[in-house]
Amino acid sequence: MCGLMGYVSNNGNAASKVDALAAGMLCARHRGPDDPGTWHDADVAFGFNRLSIIDIEKSHQPLRWGPADDPDRYALIFNGEIYNYLELREELAAEFGAEFTTSGDGEAIVASYHYWGEDAVAKLRGMFAFIIWDTTKRRVFGARDPFGIKPLFTATTDDGVAFSSEAKGLRELTGPAGVDPVALQHYLVLQYVPEPATMDPGISKVESGTCFTIDLDDSTAPLTVSYRRYFHPVFTPMTLTSAAQKSALYEEIADVLTDSVAKHMRADVTVGAFLSGGIDSTAIAALAKRSNPNLITFTTGFEYKGFSEVDVAAETAAAIGVRHVVKTVSAAELMQTLPLIIWYLDDPVADPALVPLYFVAREARKHVKVVLSGEGADELFGGYNIYREPQSLGPITGLPRGLRKGLASMGRALPEGFRGKDMLRRGALDLPDRYYGNARIFREDQLSGLLKTYSPEVSFRDATDAVYAESAGWDPISRMQHVDLFTWLRGDILVKADKMTMANALELRVPFLDSRVFEVARKVPSSEKITKETSKYALRQALRDIVPAHVLNRRKLGFPVPIRHYLAAEAYDWAHEIITGSAADEFLDKAAALALLNAHRAGEADHSRRIWAILVFLLWHGIFVTGAITPQIPDTVYPVTL
């Protein structure tokens, strides 16, 4: 887990970018404070900030590797972990006689590419963003992991293409950030900017599950980056006709998850685990303890009644027999630290859970260097309450279209907040028109008075239509999961997981998001995902002998944040000042934003998530666009090096 930055030149002048590369790496020093390094030739310049996890004394990056007759043919920069690297090294040595000079996973990537070509990326079991430079063929090959666990930003300049783990580092080459009005509109609806775009029109993302090549020639024409999707997730639910088949499925889930956690425990440093009150993190912690009997778990909560899972997590930690550490966050800490959190975040994501995640990561880094967490279980096994909609809306969606439209008209006539109003509205819509992921901040018809650059031509369907097209004919729950893999998971969940842990030089690993776990999860039928009583039914059955009974059927909470209460009370003045002091008037109407804040304070409606989305954008704008806000960046000094 580290930070990379690379530049590919179209004019043989890569050396001239080394200073900008060094400045960009300095922006990302928190991602890898242990061992910085640079390397360049005429065509490429590579920089790397290493957080040493495996083969601590060696595996320096940028890494050079090649076959025996050309040992320096390739250069690699690589962020992430390959959990099957030992098996890959053994296979490469046995089949091709590959030789290695380190004990790490980086050489396994390069050797796999040398012997298997681009197909090697499908053999990698892990989280990764990497770039390989082949000095002989003058070809760049890179890739991002299937689910998008690790980030990779890119920007095109007049004389080349740059890549980085942090968007802020690329601005050493591209200049100050701008605002893409289309991205802003998507953000206010979805609470993140959908890939491959970012809020800054000069920077984009390499999409999850995608690899790319750049071939250099002797011309000075603009470089062409050729992208190819190598991972196509497909849900193919099996038919279960007997209790024996169900039991076999539960056993297969338990076995593959046990194997995944064991692989994710591979490290030359101490590994801990995040622990909330839910089944996902509990399962990971319980299985991790099998590899590390001295496992430490970490949780967080707020100084507000009803917004803490600290007690449940402590009970769980005691039940599975692990040492447990708690961090409690105050409203004052939230307000004081949010600008810093957004600086680390790079691109705005309006998920309040960023705050407790940042603080629990900061606490964990005092004790360990790696943590496991439960992200991905809901998307793979059917854990979100909204996946119940195909059942709950069934009486409406099954009606003829004309009747559905009539019910929608009745719903529009009902006052805001009236119970059932939204159900009538959503029931009248086909699935692709109503479901675009877990977050629904502003409806698009609510933006015209707030967003000065609002365009009715921009729709969330810009981000979802192609995904829905791939899932035509699937059952509704599988289609919703598929959409979440390409929207919510990679746009929100994994962004905050990476950015908030890396802000504290802490590596986070997610065993549910493993290629072999997905191969099992995709077979689970909808009847084994959502039942009348619970979600993730098959997963819960698989974990009956692994997690404590008090957690097994507990509903999902995660790390809840009391922003509804804060914005109506102690955080009102703070929010008011951010809105009135912003310089983003060309994009947002301040009066409309303040009206939402005041209505929320008066208790007229709960606008907390909408206000939060506005605040996060305005802080991001002040930090990266105008420079009016300058967070104090802590030194990357970590007294505990486990």
CA-to-CA distance for 12 and 217, rounded, in angstroms?
A: 10
CA-to-CA distance for 309 and 554, rounded, in angstroms?
A: 12
CA-to-CA distance for 334 and 1, rounded, in angstroms?
A: 26
The H-or-E segment that residue 64 falls in is: strand 63-65
Of the residues 2, 295, 350, 439, only one is catalytic, namely 2
Residue identified by tokens 């997690």 is 547
CA-to-CA distance for 152 and 28, rounded, in angstroms?
A: 13
Specify whether the CB–CB gap between 359 and 300 falls below 8 A: yes
Specify whether the CB–CB gap between 554 and 349 falls below 8 A: no
CA-to-CA distance for 355 and 333, rounded, in angstroms?
A: 9
CA distances from 578 to 383, 587, 601, 607 (A): 36, 15, 16, 16
Helix locations, 266-420, DSSP H: 279-291, 310-320, 331-345, 354-364, 377-381, 389-392, 394-397, 401-413
Q: Does 373 show up as a binding residue in the annotation?
A: yes
| 211 is known as an active-site residue | no
Of 16, 17, 19, 131, which is closest to residue 80 (Cα–Cα)? 131
Report residue 45: phi and psi, to 5°.
Answer: -130, 125
Amino acid at 184: L
The tokens describing 254, both together, are 């338990």
CA-to-CA distance for 438 and 23, rounded, in angstroms?
A: 37
Amino acid at 50: R
Report residue 463: phi and psi, to 5°.
Answer: -95, -20
CA-to-CA distance for 118 and 121, rounded, in angstroms?
A: 6
The H-or-E segment that residue 74 falls in is: strand 74-82
Residue identified by tokens 């430079």 is 133
The tokens describing 184, both together, are 């802003």
Amino acid at 640: V
Amino acid at 272: G
Write the DSSP string, 317-357: HHHHT-EEEEEEE-HHHHHHHHHHHHHHH-S----TTHHHH
Write the DSSP string, 565-580: HHHHTTTHHHHHHHHH
Torsion of CA 131, 169, 28, 349, to 10 degrees: -100
CA angle 364, 369, 375 (to 5 degrees): 70
Find the distance separating the first CA and the last CA of the chain, reported in whole Å: 15
CA-to-CA distance for 246 and 289, rounded, in angstroms?
A: 27
- Rounded to the nearest 5 percent, the helix, strand and coil shares of the chain are 45, 15, 40
Helix locations, 54-201, DSSP H: 85-96, 106-116, 167-174, 181-190
Q: Does 9 show up as a binding residue in the annotation?
A: no
Q: Does 581 show up as a binding residue in the annotation?
A: no
CA-to-CA distance for 1 and 97, rounded, in angstroms?
A: 28
The region that residue 559 occupies, defined by phi over 0 for left and psi between -120 and 50 for alpha, beta otherwise, is beta
Q: Judge residue 281's burial from the number of C-beta atoms within 10 Å of its C-beta, 0-12 exposed, 13-18 middle, 19 or more buried.
A: buried
List, as residue ranges, the binding site for L-glutamine.
105
List, as residue ranges, the binding site for ATP.
373-374
List, as residue ranges, the binding site.
105, 373-374
Q: Which residue numbers are catalytic?
A: 2
